[in-house]
Structure 1
Amino acid sequence: MSHGSNSERTDRTEVGIVGVGRVGQWFVAKLVEAGYDPVVCDVDEDAVEAAVSKGATKAGSPAVLTEQVELVLLSLPGREVVERVMEGADGVLETLDAGQVVVDTGTTPPDVDLHYQSVCHDREAGYVDCGITHEGPGEFDDGLGPSYSMFVGGTREDYERARPVVEALSHGHEFYEGIGNGHLVKAANRLRQTCRAAVASEVCEFLTNNGVDPERVVDQLEWDIPAPYTDPEYLTTRGFDRALRTDDGDTEERGFRVDHRGVRPRLRTSDWANDPAYALDIARSSDTHVPMLTAADQSLRLAENYGRALVDRELSFGDEEWHPFHVAAVYRAVNRPQEEWRRLAGGKNDGGVDGDGDERN
């Protein structure tokens, strides 16, 4: 197989898209709008015909597509498909040549990015990973689809070669130098989205299961929680009803007891009383599933204990913005203990090494 110069080929159009499903169709529309003549291929003939109707040209395989373009755009659902498209029969690597660049916009882990960057660089071709999301800035366009934000990883040289196409496809993008970093940022964004969805579900179920309409709370506080989370099919006060019937003679395990010392009965929590602990007690009594709150409560307790220990030993980071009771301090301490304790010790640690890693005399 020859891997000669691009200058030998005169029939190459600009951009090819392997995979024209939902996202790939929007890519076709955006590229045509920007003046490109995209070449497409997909195992789904209906998807290919839909792309052709938008102005694309059909290629019979990834290998044929790669022969015709300068930039190969992968819009695929996962690593297995990427591997088949790149290395399988009639795949991209059968015809990939020097000077071309592959842009992977699909759902691919960084180790796959690292592998294909190496393979492409061996052929003097480029490779960048490009995570995408439609949940960033910008508005949906009926004709051009979502406003994508893109996160691009790779070398600066490969990025610059892909940049005009990335700019045509995205509402905005950011380059994070280093292969795999684009998909790393995408994974972090999904982590945030997943946690937010879990929190939204948990908060709304907590309210619903204890007799309060979550939609009213969301409206009042202007929380960013979509309607499907706040549409309760039922409301119940079972948690509070059971709690208020509990007294010292009740043998059943309860999350909290009733305190009669005030003007009216109230729920009594543990000595370490704060809002998350109080919410946990309510959830236990009403049999409400709150795993996120349980985990967050444990982190808050750890932060409290950690902060007290630092204050007790008169340790600080010398950072006015740092607070020893902030939950982020615990995450830093657990994930980067050596760095954090060097900071606590003012750049020195007990092992005779200063903050720059040099031994002290």
Structure 2
Amino acid sequence: MRIGFIGLGVMGSPMAAHLAAAGHNVITSLNRSPLPTELSKAGMQVLSTPAEVARAAEVIITMLPNTPDVDRVLFGTNGVSEGLSAGKLVIDMSSISPTATEGFAAKISAAGCDYIDAPVSGGEVGAKAASLTIMVGGKSAAFERAKPLFELMGKNITLVGEKSGSGQICKIANQMIVAMNIEAVAEALVFASKAGCDPAKVRAALMGGFASSRILEVHGERMIKRTFAPGFRIKLHQKDLALALEAAQALGVALPNTSSCQQLFSSVASQGKQDEDHSGLVQALEALASHTVA
């Protein structure tokens, strides 16, 4: 299959590489220089514009940072929409606005093509291991068409709903839970450490109880060892929580703890640390306690 893949960042590159390794002909537009090594070795074809990619491909996948980026690539000058013909499939795997996603889907459908939103969770590690969780919104027929491709990039693949934007809503819910878990682990470790306990031993003890979690395992260790090199940047989590709060306002839903987490992320970002890993949220609580977990 000829697959257009636009957005060869930290996660997009290994995702595209898995498709190429499976024998698909993967092409992209010239939005990254140089081409990642694994894709260059796979003979990935580079075209000049997203429109050219859409003309050449049967399926077009986008994996971009934010809503305006997807809008520009799909509908801007020389965008994907200019190269579409009836019957093609557009898959957006970015994490963006559910409301905007509904509009994008309507425009793509009007061109006689299918559109599904399929944001992912699992970070760079999951992208490299092809173990991503993929949350999908769109028609079941389009999902079945895309599923063999998803299976090359992820393990937990769910059609959340046939309404466009359902995948994005699920991803926002995921990011809310992750943020609150990070905050809970950070709060507990700051509390235990300031009380005079060894935070590493507290973490080890908690890993054997009901409080055990993947966040405690991975991010708890990051907090103790001060390893905030980004796996998932604070500024990206801020973007996701902003989408949550925007959608919640439209729905008339209160998200008090999501709001608190966003404020803590903002506190750390205001110190110029927006590109650190989201486990760095602990630094906001450390500042409030005048105590560093270590």
TM-score in terms of structure 1 length = 0.57
Map Cα deviations across residues 144-196 of structure 1 (whole Å, 9 max, x no partner): 54511101101112222222212222123011122111111111111111111
Q: Which amino acid aligns with 2:98?
A: P
Matches within 5 A, 1:240-255: none
Q: Which amino acid aligns with 1:165?
A: L
Q: Which amino acid aligns with 2:56?
A: Q
Q: CA RMSD in A?
A: 2.3
Alignment of 1:181 with 2:155, yes or no, is no
User: Are the equivalent residues in 2 in contact too, given 1:151–1:186 (CA < 8 A)?
Assistant: yes
User: Are the equivalent residues in 1 in contact too, given 2:95–2:120 (CA < 8 A)?
Assistant: no
**What is the Cα deviation at residue 92 of structure 1?**
0.4
Alignment of 1:164 with 2:158, yes or no, is no
SS in 2 for 1:27: helix
**For the residues of structure 2 that align with 1:74 and 1:28, how far apart are their CA atoms?**
10
Of the candidates 64, 81, 90, which is equivalent to residue 93 of structure 1? 81
**What is the Cα deviation at residue 228 of structure 1?**
2.2
**For the residues of structure 2 that align with 1:66 and 1:49, how far apart are their CA atoms?**
23
**For the residues of structure 1 that align with 2:43 and 2:71, how far apart are their CA atoms?**
28
Higher relative contact order (CA 8 A, sep 6+): 2
Bigger shift: 199-208 or 164-173? Answer: 164-173
**What is the Cα deviation at residue 42 of structure 1?**
4.0
Aligned to 2:199: 214
Matches within 5 A, 1:1-361: 14-47=2-35, 51-134=39-122, 144-177=128-161, 178-222=163-207, 223-224=212-213, 225=216, 226-231=220-225, 288=289
**For the residues of structure 1 that align with 2:103 and 2:95, how far apart are their CA atoms?**
15
> Which structure: greater helix fraction?
2
Q: Pick the structure with greater CA Rg.
A: 1
User: Are the equivalent residues in 2 in contact too, given 1:19–1:42 (CA < 8 A)?
Assistant: no
Q: Which amino acid aligns with 2:45?
A: T
Q: Which amino acid aligns with 1:172?
A: N
SS in 2 for 1:80: helix
SS in 2 for 1:40: strand
Structure 2, unmatched stretches of 5+, are 227-287
**For the residues of structure 1 that align with 2:36 and 2:198, how far apart are their CA atoms?**
47
TM-score in terms of structure 2 length = 0.69
SS in 2 for 1:46: coil
SS in 2 for 1:151: strand
**What is the Cα deviation at residue 231 of structure 1?**
4.6
SS in 1 for 2:73: helix
**For the residues of structure 2 that align with 1:121 and 1:133, how far apart are their CA atoms?**
26
Q: Which amino acid aligns with 1:148?
A: L
User: Are the equivalent residues in 2 in contact too, given 1:134–1:146 (CA < 8 A)?
Assistant: no
